[in-house]
Amino acid sequence: METIVFDIGETLVRDDRYWASWANWLGVPPHTLSALVGAAVAQGRDSADALSILRPDMDIAEASLARTAAGRGEHLAESDLYPDVRPTLAELRALGVRVVVAGNGTVRAGELLRALDLPVDLVVTSDEWGVAKPDPEFFARVLEVSGAAPGSTLYVGDHPANDLFPAKSCGLQAAHIRRGACGYWWADHPDVVATADFRLNALTDLPGLLNQVPDAPRPRALRAL
């Protein structure tokens, strides 16, 4: 594997502060919104649908702008990263792997991620590219910045519909991580098991993949799931 590309939310970054901030803005208990996010995930819907359930008439984009104007917009700190992120990224780069972060997110999210000075070669978000997952054009852009052939590029994410399936359909290798509501809920779904080249319990599983044959007939469970 020459290049490993990472999704952002619930792959590198915990989303609990994000949803808690929305709950606070809407005046509902955080656990209420969390439960609705989980319900949306279980139904195969976008997690943002939880906001529409709470406020059917709310324009989410306009509400996001209002939050920012009120000084309650996006924030990202070291504590929002999963504990295995920085050491794993550093180890991969030390092994000579090109490391890219590319996922759905705002321009501001990209700025905040780059400010964390992660040990990566590139950080980019969908808004910066002007195209979002699961659009195949997003993964075409991933391959442009990969610097490697599709079969030597691994995309890592938690969301089957946004990460796993479109990455595979565009010719990349793909790893599904059992993390976050979506990652846990869909981890053992037959379609995920059949499609994923690798199934991860943690990012620390990744360095051990580098010497494994990428085109095995069935996906590998790196640990018992």
Whole-number Å distance between alpha carbons of 155 and 211: 17
What's the pTM? Answer: 0.88
What does the angle CA 123 – CA 41 – CA 9 come to, to the nearest 5 degrees?
Answer: 15
Using CA atoms, how far residue 117 sits from 91, 109, 146, 160, 207, in Å, is 15, 13, 19, 28, 21
pLDDT digits (tens, 9 = 90+) for 208-218: 887 664 443 33
pLDDT value for 224: 27
Q: What is the mean pLDDT of residues 192-213?
A: 89
* pLDDT, tens digit (0-9, with 9 covering 90-100), for 47-64: 889 999 999 999 998 998
Distance between CA 33 and CA 138 in Å, rounded? 29
> What pLDDT score does 209 carry?
83
pLDDT value of residue 102: 98
pLDDT at 225 over 60: no
What is the Cα–Cα distance from 207 to 1, expressed in whole angstroms? 10
Give the residue-averaged pLDDT of 37-43.
88
**Averaged pLDDT of the chain:** 90
pLDDT digits (tens, 9 = 90+) for 123-164: 999 999 999 999 999 999 999 999 999 999 999 999 999 999
Q: For the residues of 128-189, what is the DSSP string, one character each?
A: HHT--TT-HHHHHHHHHHH-S-GGGEEEEES-IIIIIHHHHHTT-EEEEE--HHHHHHHTT-
The stretch 25-37 carries a mean pLDDT of: 93
What is the pLDDT, as a whole number, of residue 96? 94
pLDDT at 172: 97
How many degrees, rounded to 5, is the angle at CA 178 between CA 175 and CA 183?
95
What is the pairing mode between strands 153-157 and 220-221?
Answer: unpaired
pLDDT confidence band for 220 (50 / 70 / 90): very low
Query: Contact, 154 vs 162, CB < 8 A?
Result: no
pLDDT value at residue 89: 98
pLDDT at 83 over 90: yes
pLDDT band of 174, cuts 50, 70, 90: very high
Return d(Cα 216, Cα 209) in angstroms, integer.
Answer: 12
Proportion of the chain above pLDDT 90, given as a percent: 79
pLDDT of residue 45: 86
pLDDT score for 73: 82
Torsion angle defined by CA atoms of residues 111, 113, 119 and 124, in that order, rounded to the nearest 10 degrees: -70
CA distance 105 to 112: 11
Of 123 and 74, the structure prediction assigns the larger pLDDT to 123
